[in-house]
Amino acid sequence: MKISIIGTGYVGLVTGVCLSEVGHHVTCLDINPEKVDMLSKGISPIYEPGLGDLMVKNMEAGRLSFTTSHILGLKEADVVYIAVGTPQGSDGAANLSYVYQAARDIGRNITRDVVVVTKSTVPLGTNHKVKQLITANLEGNHCVQVVSNPEFLREGSAVYDAFYGDRIVIGADCPEAAAVIEEINKPFGIPVLKTSISSAEMIKYASNAFLATKISFINEIANLSEKVGADVAEVAKGMGQDARIGSQFLKAGIGYGGSCFPKDTSALVRISEELNHDFHLLRSVMEINENQKTVLVEKAVERLGSLEGKRIALLGLAFKPETDDMREAASIAVAEKLMELGAEIIAYDPVAAENAQRILPEGVLFAAQIEEAVKDADVVFILTDWKEIVEKALILSSLFMKNPIIFDGRNCYTEKEVKKYNVEYVSVGRMPVI
């Protein structure tokens, strides 16, 4: 069975590499020639632990190849995965133009019966439209079945998640097509949940919306904890020990970002509006998150007064550790706000700096080393809890700063740890350490 994957972003590339690792023959297709050029040379265009080595291994084994040609990429395919982006459109809904273009490309280029698998996160009803578009563009009399197979990988541990995910959801109206996708995934040994196409589409949005809700909930508890003198880390621990609640996604901080939660919550609110349903809860989750992104700046203003001319080191720029993805990272909102207030920013990220340079406001300076960022800074902000940053921020601040003060948006340290250093420390949902 020959598999083609349309889109070689975080999802498409990881899917292609991992499917080839378990023995399938995979061709990955992308319209971006620079990406395909890099990939063909064995260089991963994205930072994802373990991905590069696995990619090269399977290219060398002759199971994995890359192309920009729709003809070459699709003509021999028995199964085609759609893994193109579905970014947020200006109206808040998912922009489906890439998915629809991929569907047209499939219709025009396949030469046999195929099962088309939608990995991209798409609103309810999209898979039916995908099937219509493919069928309308078919050049031969081929049978096309469409399966919804939403992706649950986490950037930063995407390869691990492909092999050890909690479940594989296969949404199909045709049992034979579902069986084909189940068979392809058998080597991963992950439990499979078979559903209707609509349920599969909903599972993905509902899962992301629920996780975003957990984060905004604990952030509201954090804001309240500060007012009553409670410690949100202790509160979250106590809540998380209740098996009904669970401890994951209960870490207070400066909110969620990334390529999924912001756009998927927004898309679900738009889907609801189109169905004349007011998803009040989710709208609040989004609003809380927007406000949460700048709480550290507010704390800094409260503590230091004007930030005009202050040199502020931003440690960590990616939306989370172990990724170079800057999409909707909290660092963007923080940097914009600080620039507005006249601060001078020196930013550091061990991996995402190159992407950040394209996204952060003009005038932000970049440090090649964490030491360079902290040296001569008036204030340190921790925005992403990369291991290197957690290990070094306290000690470097105490060594290099005149009046060491850290505003920590990821609650990296306990009071006990901070007290070993001569550093003033302000975090989220806990009392400052002075």
Annotated binding site for substrate: 152-155, 204, 249-253, 257, 320
The one segment of 148-156, 178-186, 332-340, 347-355 that binds ligand NAD by CB under 6 A: 148-156
Choice from 65, 121, 185, 266 touching ligand NAD (CB under 6 A) = 121
**Cα–Cα distance for residue pair 15/55, rounded to 1 Å:** 11
Looking only at residues 361 through 400 of this chain, which bind ligand NAD when binding is defined by CB under 6 A? none
Query: Which residues does the annotation place in the binding site?
Result: 30, 35, 86, 121, 152-155, 204, 249-253, 257, 263, 320, 327
Q: 86 or 355: whose CB is closer to ligand NAD? A: 86
Does 301 contact ligand NAD by CB under 6 A?
no
Does 120 contact ligand NAD by CB under 6 A?
yes
Looking only at residues 98 through 117 of this chain, which bind ligand NAD when binding is defined by CB under 6 A? 98, 101-102, 105
The CB-side HSE value for 38 (13 A sphere, CA atoms) comes to 12
The one segment of 1-9, 223-231, 314-322, 355-363 that binds ligand NAD by CB under 6 A: 1-9
The pair of three-digit structure tokens given for residue 80, joined into one six-digit string: 């085609």
Q: Which residues of 91-116 are buried (b: 16+ CB within 10 A; e: fewer)?
A: eebbbbebbbebbebbbebbeeebbb
Does 9 contact ligand NAD by CB under 6 A?
yes
The residue to which tokens 């995908």 are assigned: 130
**Cα–Cα distance for residue pair 292/253, rounded to 1 Å:** 8
**Cα–Cα distance for residue pair 160/368, rounded to 1 Å:** 29
Does 85 contact ligand NAD by CB under 6 A?
yes
Tell me which amino acid residue 277 is. Answer: H
Tell me which amino acid residue 113 is. Answer: D
Q: Which residues of 43-80 are buried (b: 16+ CB within 10 A; e: fewer)?
A: ebbbbbebbbebbbebbeeebbbbbbebeebbeebbbb
Choice from 84, 393, 401, 428 touching ligand NAD (CB under 6 A) = 84
- Please identify every residue annotated as catalytic: 260
The contact pattern for ligand NAD, residues 401-420, with x = CB under 6 A and - = no contact, is: --------------------
The one segment of 79-87, 183-191, 222-230, 332-340 that binds ligand NAD by CB under 6 A: 79-87
Does 32 contact ligand NAD by CB under 6 A?
yes
Looking only at residues 48 through 77 of this chain, which bind ligand NAD when binding is defined by CB under 6 A? none
**Cα–Cα distance for residue pair 424/434, rounded to 1 Å:** 5
Residues in contact with 189: Cβ distance below 8 Å, sequence separation at least 6, in sequence order:
none
**Shortest distance in whole angstroms from residue 254 CB to ligand NAD:** 19
**Long-range CB contacts (within 8 A, 24+) of 87-90:** 87/263, 88/262, 88/263, 88/266, 88/267
Q: 211 or 365: whose CB is closer to ligand NAD? A: 211
Does 151 contact ligand NAD by CB under 6 A?
yes
- Please give the C-alpha separations between residue 392 and each of 70, 116, 315, 352, in angstroms, as whole numbers: 48, 48, 10, 18
Binding site for ligand NAD (CB under 6 A): 6-12, 29-32, 35, 83-86, 98, 101-102, 105, 119-121, 151, 153, 155, 259-260
